[in-house]
Amino acid sequence: MHFNLNGPVNCRSVLVLGAFLVACGFASLKSQSQILSVKFDDFNQIHGWWDYHRDGTAAQDELAIVNGKGYLRISLKNPVQNLECNVGISEFQNIYGKSVKKLVTEARIKLLNPMQAGSRGWGLWKSRKKAKIHSLAWFMEQLAPNAPQFSWQLAGTVVKNRRQTVKWQPDLNRWHVYRIERDLVNKITFFWVDDQLILKTPGLTPAGRLSFHLWIDNQVYSKNGILRMAWTGESAMLVDYVKINTSALAKAEIFQSKNQAILAYRTWNDVFYGQGKFTIAQIPFNLKGQKVYAILTTCLENYSNYDEQDALFFYFDDNAAEEIVLKGNDTHNLSKTSLFSLELAPGKHQLTVRGQTSPVVNDILLINGDESEILLDKQNILLVDKMVEYQIDLEQKGKFLLYLAATLKEAPRFNQITPISVLADEDDDLQLVLSDQSGNQIKTLEFCGNRIFGQAHTKLFEFETNARRLQLKLKSEGKPLLHRLILFRFK
């Protein structure tokens, strides 16, 4: 999509591996690290980049795939022997070739039933119908009741006729985070379970074009070909999220501003997980005054009876009681930007952020409330192909901070690796133009759905102006969701 509102938004120039870089409009801020994500699916909406497989008996089962509730549930029931019965998801093509030197895939998964005859698993797979499987890195188990030599539970790498594996004993009804890294630079593949390294395969790295697959089927792979099994019952698994990166996972970004009224700003755009209450961040700041604005964009989910809901807990200093608590029941599996006003004593403080289950935290911004005021605060606006305009009269010149958080969807079946120009008009786009009373542009901020892939992201812009009036124009195409638009003036 592109606009003619005093300048274009051009989503056609998506670079190879042009995933969204965490962006911030501060000219005076310094970023210490960056995260280059290809895609992240928290399964709170339906994304077009997956192929959803429902073959054989699964084709008639409406509950074979349950998606969009903060989790993905796949289930195979009562397969028959004369059909390939399969349920799962996969990326619609083999998109990660040799140009992707480091490829990391991570998924949080819980197996709900004992293994039935057939196979199930997840990982990086080169899929080509009627061709020999010769390039993969996966977690997989299969069961052939009458052929124990073809029954196994393994994690490992296969490259043509070479393979290296480790025995893997999955737990039923327990969540685990599984991560695989393909490193073509150092020619090694790594496998982790809950951040514990269980296997590395030096000198053995699948270099074929791969994509992520996750499945349950009734097929066993043997030296004599594929054996299909029949049984009565159900085999099911639950997926909290799938994340795919094209580099090693980066640390959280830390930004610093020269403006002392901006106490702290951290941005992650990432998911966190752990046992019980686990620490996400400790953020020190120095307060001159007694009032703090805390602004945070998050996505918290409720997993029904499958797990505890996501939660975030905010503690200041050595206080044992939480100052702020956010839970999945409060946000209904959607991204949300929250603003809190807090009273603290002047001096040095530390904010400790703890999480529960697997919250997504986009960013946290702390503002000195005694040295700032909120001139504009708009939230939860669904912008449907229209223009929205706000006028703000200013009493005097000064310094300002604009905070903008939004979620935009990518084009259906968008290819995140190779640019496809025809899809540039099919995603959500959002443009904010900031001008003075004479129409002179101060700044243009742009969001492109084909770059942020359906997730919430934020942009910040710090500026100084002598204008008597500010004009903010929001131009949308598609259906972007504006979580929050906040304008601060610093005293």
pLDDT in tens, 155-203: 999 998 899 999 998 899 999 999 999 999 999 999 999 999 999 999 9
Q: Over 80: is that where the pLDDT of 133 sits?
A: no
pLDDT at 221: 83
CATH top-level class of 50-245: mainly beta
Mean pLDDT, rounded, for 293-302: 96
Which range has the worst mean pLDDT, 72-76, 82-86, 247-251, 373-377? 247-251
pLDDT at 132: 60
Q: Over 80: is that where the pLDDT of 466 sits?
A: yes
Q: How confident is the model at residue 130 (pLDDT cuts 50, 70, 90)?
A: low
Mean pLDDT over all residues of the chain?
86
Domain(s) of CATH 2.60.120.200: residues in the chain: 50-245
Q: How confident is the model at residue 313 (pLDDT cuts 50, 70, 90)?
A: very high
CATH number belonging to the domain at 11-36+250-490, selected among 2.40.50.140, 1.10.3260.10, 2.40.30.10, 2.60.120.380 = 2.60.120.380
Domain(s) of CATH 2.60.120.380: residues in the chain: 11-36+250-490
pLDDT at 77: 97
Q: Over 90: is that where the pLDDT of 217 sits?
A: yes
Rounded to two decimals, the pTM is 0.89
Q: Encode pLDDT of 6-43 as tens digits.
A: 333 333 222 222 232 222 222 233 333 344 467 899 99
Q: Encode pLDDT of 194-205 as tens digits.
A: 999 999 999 999
Q: How confident is the model at residue 334 (pLDDT cuts 50, 70, 90)?
A: confident
Q: Minimal CA–CA distance to 323: which of 338, 309, 341, 347? A: 341
pLDDT at 254: 58
Mean pLDDT, rounded, for 347-353: 96
Q: Encode pLDDT of 86-106 as tens digits.
A: 999 998 778 888 888 999 999
Q: Over 70: is that where the pLDDT of 468 sits?
A: yes
Q: Encode pLDDT of 264-289 as tens digits.
A: 999 888 999 999 999 999 999 999 99
pLDDT at 12: 27
Mean pLDDT, rounded, for 104-117: 96
Q: Over 50: is that where the pLDDT of 258 sits?
A: yes
Q: Over 80: is that where the pLDDT of 290 sits?
A: yes
Q: 147 or 233, which is more confident?
A: 233
Mean pLDDT, rounded, for 146-156: 92
Q: How confident is the model at residue 1 (pLDDT cuts 50, 70, 90)?
A: very low
pLDDT at 332: 77
